[in-house]
Amino acid sequence: MKSKFTSMVFVGLLAAPLVLSTGRVFADDDDAGQGIQNERRDLQQDRRQLEELRRRRNGENREGDRGEVRDYNAQIHDLKNHMRQDRRELRRDRREGHENEHRDRD
């Protein structure tokens, strides 16, 4: 019972930053440079969170709790997919920014 409660708490802790970072993506930024900086900061936070999840998963693995390990693996998988999508968006934003700079010069 305690492990299920612990899992629910960790899922909640994982979900909160994801929801917040998603909200930031949809926010209307006037300055494109500021938006890119925010996205980079979000990716750094996601990387730290990924390392923490891996550390906790490894601890549960050492303890032999396969159910917890499975939960952590699912969380890690979801976070990695989220990070991959964020990196794609960041690259697209950079590319669009460079295209706009070249158009402004013409």
Banded model confidence at residue 22, pLDDT cuts 50, 70, 90: low
DSSP secondary structure code for residue 31 in this structure: -
Determine the pLDDT at residue 71. 96
Per-residue pLDDT reduced to its tens digit, 26-71: 555 455 567 778 888 999 999 999 999 999 999 999 999 999 999 9
Could you give the percent of the chain with pLDDT greater than 70? 68
Structural domain that includes position 20? 2-105
Whole-number Å distance between alpha carbons of 50 and 73: 11
72-78: average pLDDT: 97
Whole-number Å distance between alpha carbons of 10 and 53: 9
Name the domain count of the chain: 1
Has residue 24 got a pLDDT over 70? no
Cβ-defined contacts of 75-81 (< 8 Å, 24+): 75/10, 75/11, 75/14, 76/50, 78/14, 79/14, 79/18, 79/46, 79/49, 79/50, 79/53, 80/50
Has residue 18 got a pLDDT over 80? no
